[in-house]
Amino acid sequence: MSLSARTKALPNKTNLTLKEKKLVKPKFKKRTAIAVGFVGSVLWGTTCILENQNAIAQVAGGMFIVNELSKKCLDVAGNTGSGVVNGTQLVLNECEISGFNSSGGITDQKWEFIRGGFIKNKLSNKCIDVVGKPGTTNFLLLQLNECETSGFSSPGVATDQRWEYIGAGFIRNGLSNRCIDVGGDAATANNKILQLYDCELSGFSPGSGKPSDQRWGWQPSP
């Protein structure tokens, strides 16, 4: 079933009575639990702001964010460890499920989803950020930066660090409505840059028709 078809099948929550809301809520929680357990099978029919994904956020040790196309993980460039500086780029790389990187240091691939829709790196305690203040256009790189949990990047300027998880595995920026994308067309190689780009909700890359590289799943830390 397509994403649009599944979305239409859901009730319009803005028009629900109090009684109907109580009926919908348990289904949402059940789907959240399923998402934690099955990487590669994360299919939700509604938009889920990350602050509400308590079953994911509270997994001890954090989560690996796994690309559905390449089976590689969202990674911090270089073996920088906890001393990573602001502005360090985010890339695609082999998953360090062992908990250690190729140099024997502690992995920086573990993430947690904190209140407000922020995705925080467990090792550095910095958040996924878009280059720019704020960054909202296609091809802007993703990086680590101090978490803007106040909701602003500077006085009067809304943060671009809030994310939401939408149906079929897309992670969408709350400010720009663009998605976390791997640089290149259906890219799967190590050290590919991660960037902001129009969401490929059809499941395919526009123009080439290749499967989208924007779909992600979660894997709990061992």
Confidence bin at 167 (pLDDT 50/70/90): confident
3-state SS class at 143: strand
pTM: predicted TM-score of the whole model, two decimal places:
0.75
Would you say residue 38 has pLDDT above 70? no
Residue 215 has pLDDT above 80, yes or no: yes
CA–CA dist 86, 6 (Å, integer): 40
Domain residue ranges of the chain, discontinuous segments joined by +: 3-220
Percent of the chain with pLDDT over 70: 71
Q: DSSP character for 87?
A: T
In a 3-state reduction of DSSP, which class is residue 124? coil
The pLDDT of residue 189? 94
65-104 pLDDT, tens digit each: 999 999 999 999 987 666 688 999 999 999 999 999 988 9
Residue pair 141/197 in contact (Cβ under 8 Å)? The answer is no
The whole-number pLDDT of residue 78 equals 87
- The answer for residues whose C-beta is within 8 angstroms of residue 136's C-beta and 6 or more apart is 130, 160, 173, 175, 176, 178, 196
Q: Which two tokens stand for residue 100?
A: 């250690």
CB neighbours of residue 107 within 10 Å: 23
pLDDT of residue 82: 60
Q: 10 Å Cβ neighbour count for 216?
A: 20
Q: pLDDT-derived band of residue 207, with 50, 70 and 90 as boundaries?
A: confident
Least confident of 47-51, 125-129, 186-190, 202-206: 47-51
Give the pLDDT of residue 191. Answer: 94
Residue type for position 106? I
pLDDT of residue 29 exceeding 80: no
Is residue 214 predicted with pLDDT exceeding 50? yes
Q: Where does the chain show beta strands of DSSP type E? A: 48-49, 63-67, 73-76, 90-93, 110-114, 118-121, 127-130, 142-145, 152-154, 157-158, 163-166, 170-173, 179-182, 194-197, 216-220
**pLDDT (0 to 100) of residue 120:** 98
Q: What is the mean pLDDT of the chain?
A: 79
- Is pLDDT above 50 for 209? yes
The percentage of residues in the chain with a pLDDT greater than 90, rounded to a whole number, is 60
- Which class is 3-220 in CATH? mainly beta
CA angle 177, 107, 193 (to 5 degrees): 40
